């Protein structure tokens, strides 16, 4: 089964800015009656986005559902890292901190500190296990690319505008591809061997771990995973006899994506970014896009 994992919509009554949304999708095995709820998340978003999801998940947990979520950085690996692996782990931690810093200019926060409860079960591969599966040279190259994309001197605040424009263009491109049934996370082999090695572990292997654990659980399960995992999770669940009802999918707004034109102009003029409108706290009449 193919299900969209993100979409971009104008908030009701407005044409711009556009709202980024992720789905909550219900699955059921008709033979066993076992139910799964896949909460697809964007790893950065407005605090209000995560609060809405947290309230929803908590209600299911109170009804007896087990919550299983990703969190590679929260798991203890088997074995001690080598000096090279420790260096990659340090680079990974620094990359996460830098990305959180850049996204904070939008008023967006990182998912993992806020969308989490001690009662939830972490189902994932540990960071070190991921590095070993991918290869530390491949992972280091990936992190170097990320650092080049996100790194600029504090004396150049206009670089935020370039980042915002590229972020918005990327999200709109993915959402457009998904809407036309050409999901870039549908897992066709990537022409770049290093990118393919990353995807096999970061997407395929971890999604398999998530599904294998969820379907083996006696109780109904809420699965909290990054939206990019939904195509793989949905395909795997379909192979195991689970069915989804796309008409029953609920969409939640991550936040409002930056305006491309205005961000580009400010970058070219070397001006810092303008204050970003917050979907969940704005006093303007902005409501959830539903279609």
Residue 126 within a domain? yes
Confidence bin at 73 (pLDDT 50/70/90): very high
Q: Taking residues 227-247, report their average pLDDT.
A: 93
Q: What number of other Cβ atoms are within 10 A of residue 246's Cβ?
A: 11
Q: Taking residues 108-116, report their average pLDDT.
A: 95
Confidence bin at 284 (pLDDT 50/70/90): very low
Beta carbons of 4 and 242 less than 8 angstroms apart: no
Q: Taking residues 6-17, report their average pLDDT.
A: 76
* Averaged pLDDT of the chain: 91
Residue 280 within a domain? no
Residue 281 within a domain? no
pLDDT of residue 287: 44
Q: 88-119 in b/e burial notation, b at 16+ Cβ within 10 A?
A: bbebbeebbeebbebbebbbbbbbbeebbeee
pLDDT of 19 > 60? The answer is: yes
Return the percentage of the chain with pLDDT > 90, whole number: 79
Beta carbons of 82 and 234 less than 8 angstroms apart: no
Domain span at residue 210?
7-268
Half-sphere exposure of residue 96: CA atoms within 13 angstroms, side-chain side: 14
pLDDT of residue 285: 39
Confidence bin at 12 (pLDDT 50/70/90): low
Domain total of the chain:
1
pTM as predicted: 0.91
């Amino acid at each position: 089964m193919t299900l969209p994992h993100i979409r971009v919509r104008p908030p009701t009554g407005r044409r711009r800015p556009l709202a980024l949304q992720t789905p909550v999708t219900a699955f059921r095995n008709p033979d066993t009656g076992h139910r799964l709820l896949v909460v697809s998340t964007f790893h950065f978003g407005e605090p209000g986005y995560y609060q809405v999801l947290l309230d929803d998940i908590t209600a299911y947990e109170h009804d007896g559902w087990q919550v299983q979520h990703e969190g590679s950085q929260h798991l203890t690996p088997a074995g001690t890292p080598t000096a090279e692996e420790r260096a990659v782990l340090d680079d990974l931690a620094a990359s996460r901190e830098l990305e959180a810093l850049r996204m904070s200019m939008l008023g967006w926060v990182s998912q993992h500190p806020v969308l989490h409860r001690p009662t939830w079960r972490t189902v994932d591969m540990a960071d070190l296990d991921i590095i070993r599966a991918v290869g530390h040279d491949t992972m280091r190259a990936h992190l170097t690319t990320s650092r080049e994309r996100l790194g600029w001197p504090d004396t150049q605040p206009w670089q935020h505008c370039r980042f915002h424009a590229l972020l918005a263009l990327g999200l709109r491109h993915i959402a457009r591809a998904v809407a036309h049934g050409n999901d870039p996370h549908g897992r066709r082999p990537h022409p770049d061997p290093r990118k393919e090695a990353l995807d096999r572990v970061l997407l395929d292997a971890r999604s398999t771990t998530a599904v294998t654990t969820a379907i083996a659980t006696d109780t109904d399960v809420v699965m909290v995973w990054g939206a990019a995992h939904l195509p793989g999770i949905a395909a795997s669940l379909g192979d195991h006899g689970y069915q989804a009802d796309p008409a029953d999918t609920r969409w939640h707004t991550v936040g409002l994506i930056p305006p491309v034109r205005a961000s580009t102009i400010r970058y070219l003029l070397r001006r810092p970014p303008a204050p970003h409108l917050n979907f969940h706290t704005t006093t303007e009449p902005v409501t959830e896009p539903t279609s």
